[in-house]
A = this chain, B = another copy of it.
Amino acid sequence: MADKILMGHGSGGRMMHRLVRDLIAPAFGMTTLADAALFDFPAGGRPAVTTDSYVVSPIFFPGGDIGELAVCGTVNDLAMMGARPLCLTAGFILEEGLLLEDLKRVVSSMAETARRAGVSIVAGDTKVVDRGKCDAIFINTAGVGVVPEGLDLSPERILAGDAVIVSGPCGSHGIAIMAERNGLSFDPPLVSDTAPLNGLVELMLEQAEGIRVLRDPTRGGLATTIKEIAVEGSRRIVLEEKSVPVLPGVQGACGLLGLDPLYVANEGVLLGIVDGAEAESLVQAMHSHPLGGSAAVVGLVGEEEDGKVILSTIAGGTRLLDMLTGEQLPRIC
């Protein structure tokens, strides 16, 4: 086998079969990776489906890579619906000239992350485009999951008095990518938070009955996600800047790069709006989970039905938060 991706690897013919048989399928513990596959759907519960394409640059970054990201992002989209992930598909777009060694590293990382999340990759597809027509590798993952009967997470369910919680320190993914892209290194190193959140969500759903909505604040960061919820739920939300966990290194790098950590992407952090009466006990329970060690209450849902988000700043003032405008950090995921 050549050591690089050639156009023939996308032909549908012998070279593609060999690439799938010898490199991709073995990483997933299979003899082949089918175009389409049957899967088991448990009795009870409602099926949910999601998709995401990943175009992160560079494909390897501190704390993760595009393969880990592609599995976590899609698992997390399902988890935010309260769905237990059942299976994933993987669609690869490969650039002619990509090192097979790099592809192998990416698919191994996908397989390892899928194991960690307890989900199977069951079907896939491989396309190759001419050099200069993509950027090393793009991956799409779609996922199917099952939402337990009776569970309905939606911004429309948020109520005055509900609390806003986050599961971990914010902004780490975006800053790790930006640092890598700009050749900056920090001590201690800043690493992406990329992680599958489905286990943490299961724990949360066992602990609390009053979980209204869960979201993973990826592109656009915490601020954009809270604004979306406020608008969709027609409620005002007040966010306490001082309560939002941000690692000191991330805070410092944000200052250096002129970025606001509230708008920087996360890939292993969730935001929840929960019954105010349950918030503290839920946060305590989350502290027992490896991904919930910094969980904190960071805000409150108000009476006003205006969809505004007010930041109560560390300096003691207030300001309106809106969705991210323009593009702060391109190709972060």
Contact = CB atoms under 8 A, between A and B. Distances in A.
Contacts of A132: 132
Interface string A34-45: 011111110000
A57 B134 CA distance: 13
Interface in A19-41: 35-41
A285 interface: no
Interface stretch (A74-82, A187-195, A197-205, A305-313): A74-82
Interface string A103-130: 0000000000000000000111101111
Interface string A51-90: 1111101000000000000000000011011010001011
A268 B16 CA distance: 22
Contacts of A83: 36
A135 B323 CA distance: 29
A140 interface: yes
A323 B140 contact: no
Contact of A53 (B15, B38, B127, B135): B127
B325 A14 contact: yes
A331 B14 CA distance: 16
A93 B331 CA distance: 11
Contacts of A333: 127
Given A12-B220, A14-B323, A324-B11, A128 B78 contact: no
A325 B17 CA distance: 10
A147 interface: yes
18 contacts: A11-B327, A12-B219, A13-B326, A13-B327, A16-B220, A36-B48, A49-B89, A49-B142, A50-B89, A53-B92, A53-B125, A53-B127, A53-B140, A55-B129, A55-B133, A129-B134, A134-B135, A138-B138
